[in-house]
Structures are given as C-alpha cells and as structure tokens.
Amino acid sequence: MQGIDVIEGEVRELIRRRRLDPARDQDVLHGLVRDVVADYEERSLRGGLEPLGDRDTATRRVMDAVVGFGPLQPYLDDPTVEEIWVNDPTRVFVARQGVAELTNTILTEEQVKALVERMLKPSGRRVDLSSPFVDATLTDGSRLHVAIPDVTPNTWYLNIRKFVARAYTLDDQVRLGTLTQPAARFLGAAVASGLNVLVAGGTQAGKTTLLNCLGSAIPSQERVVSCEEVFELKLSARDWAAMQCRQPSLEGTGEIPLRRLVKEALRMRPSRIIVGEVRQEESLDLLIALNSGLPGMATVHANSAREAVIKMCTLPLLAGPNVSAQFVVPTVASAVDLIVHIALERDGRRRVREIVAVPGRVEGDVIELADLFVTEGGELVRGTGYPPHEEQFARAGYDVRELLGRYA
C-alpha cells in the first residue's frame, strides 16, 4: 500500500532525526507511529493522499517494518508457525505442525538483505563472501541460518527455526502425545538417576524440545553446563551455565568450535553436561567426559537408535588418525546408557518411536542394545529389555523392576 510506504518513510526519517534506537526505544516508537498515522489520515481527508483504511492494521505494519522484521514479523508472531524459510524473494515458506506451505508473501532482494542485517545485529555475527554461512539466535530465541552466493546460485537463503514452547516437562510431552506416561515416568527416573541419554532423530523431529524436557528432570542441586552451536536450550535448572560457539573474525582468528566448549565445560565444575548436538569430533570429548563418570545428555541426527550408535562410533574418528575404532566402540558401549529416538510423522506430529538401553556389551564391533520401549501398532509399548546401572536407580530411590515391570 502506497500510504503505508509513505508513513514508513516519514517514521524512519523521524527516527534518524531524533536518533532513536528501534531496539531500545520501542515505547517511544509506538507513540511516534500512532502520531504519524493520525497525521496521515488527516491529510488524506483533505485530498491528495491515498486513503489509509484500517488504522490499527497500518500501525501494526509500520511497527513491523521499523521495529520488527517487516513482512516476516506476522509469521514470527504466529504461535502456530514453527519455521520460516526463504528460497528466493518471491517464495517464502512456513511450516505448521510439521507441514510446509507456500505463503503469499513476496519480498525483494533488498528486503531480504536488510532483514538479514537487522536479524544479525544483536548477535554481532556477520555474513559475507569470506563467510557465506551464518548461524545466530534472534532476540526471541529463534534460530537463524543464512547462506549467500556463491554458495547458493544467485539468491540469499534464509531459515528461521522458531522455538515454539509447547512442552517444558516430560508430562507436557505426554499431553502432546509424543510420549506415553510409562515411558515418561521411566525417562524422568533415568535422568534423575544420572544415566547418560542420547536423543536421536531427524531434522525438526523435536530433539531439542525433548532434550529440554529431559533436562527438567535433573535434580535442582546439580550444576548443569551446556554447549551449543547457537543458544537453543531453555533449561529450568537453578544452576545452569550456557555456552555457544563463536565464528572466526574477519582475519580468520578467534573461532571457538564446539569441541573447545566441551573441553572448557569440564573445567567449570559441572554435575551434568549437555551438548545441544554432536556433529563432529566433539563427540570424542563428550564420550571421554561421560566415560569418566560425569552424567550428560546430547542430541544426534539419526533415523533410529541403532543408527545413532553407529554414528557415535564413527564421529569420534574425525578427531584424528590416532583415534581408532578399537577404542571408540567400547567407549560408546560404556558411556551411553539410553537412546531415545523421536521422529516427525507424516501427519506432522512428533512421537518417540523407541527407547533402547545400552547394556555395555560388545560382540565384535557391534554394540548390544536392549529394547525398553518399542512402537507396535502405532503405540509406544514396553519392550523386553532392562536398562544398565540398576544401582544408580536404587541410590536415587527408584526400583527398576517396579518402574518397568508394572507395564510389561
């Protein structure tokens, strides 16, 4: 609308003249926008200007443009939207309940670049020809990923993964249908007892949300240290220290990878360590920490519990030629206690498909697994296996036989 464009231009000029900061002076800007909209309406009544229409709609759109993220702001405000991505300025997609849909929003290349610059400003991160990828966290906790040419063909790719907080505890996961009550009860006891848990699943399966819910079962007296590429975890722990990676500077120095964070976390007196996602050689440092008796949790991309084990046996080999499978396989078998596999179903719902235990036994190069909960007929039901470390459950006040046997 031409009228809104005129108002936006006038507001931006007033912001420049009064030296206002859109991030800090939002209350002032709300009043400023309302005054400019009212003034425009009066002028349009005298002729020469396009009628504005609904005043509230105009005010909201101008505020989105000068304070928020323009045409994308309504999707960020919409609690049903889980993810937003831009393939090119004319193709903006969103996902609701795991289902993708093409929107009618049309941007320009200049708008996309301006939006990315505004989104990156609070984090201090950058994207340019020397660093064509960037990950950052928006002020509302959403995760931003950007890729630009010449890595992409000729347009900027923009992806915003919102942290839609529908679940904070394992009971919330039960309410949403992701877990059954028996499985949630067992997982809560396992985390409280100090077992090491690996959450496996594909992209957008809900791994981080499930990891947050598992974190809610950590005893309040424990000190939790978390390591992530960008901040995504929202733990409720009373004593929680969170760290994220850092990109290299323009000179190519100062980078802090995830592996460095895991090493530093061990110097911070943790009672529990959480790694947002293991992708590369940091898996070796995590395994060593878990194998030394420090309880922890992490997520990994995998399509099943068995594939998660295979991946955890492979990723540490990236740490260097002196790391062998003969060392890694038994370390995984002794360090990982439980694997929870979660998946995004065709109907858009997220469900835990299996919970398996790692008893610690290895035959050749194959790690033995025990089914605790499996999916049968679309339902998560009790399997035939039992978890390791019954003594840890007992010290925490849980009887594993009673905990699992009741639902056998």
What pLDDT score was predicted for residue 408?
42
Helix-, strand-, coil-residue percentages of the chain, each rounded to 5? 40, 25, 40
Cα–Cα separations (whole angstroms), residue 159 to 118, 216, 223, 357: 14, 28, 33, 35
Domain boundaries, the chain: 2-67, 73-161, 170-405
- Model confidence, pTM: 0.81
pLDDT at 23: 66
- Cα–Cα distance for residue pair 195/137, rounded to 1 Å: 30
Can you give the pLDDT at residue 2? 67
- Domain 170-405 architecture: 3-Layer(aba) Sandwich (3.40)
The rounded average pLDDT for each run of 10 residues, N- to C-terminus, in the chain (408 residues) is 73 80 75 82 76 77 78 90 93 89 93 89 81 86 90 93 82 94 96 97 91 95 94 89 86 86 94 94 94 94 96 94 92 96 89 96 92 94 93 94 71
> CATH for 73-161?
3.30.450.90
Check: CB of residue 297 under 8 Å from CB of residue 192: no
What's the pLDDT score for residue 407? 45
Cα separation values, 36 from 5, 23, 41, Å: 12, 19, 9
Which pLDDT belongs to residue 236? 84
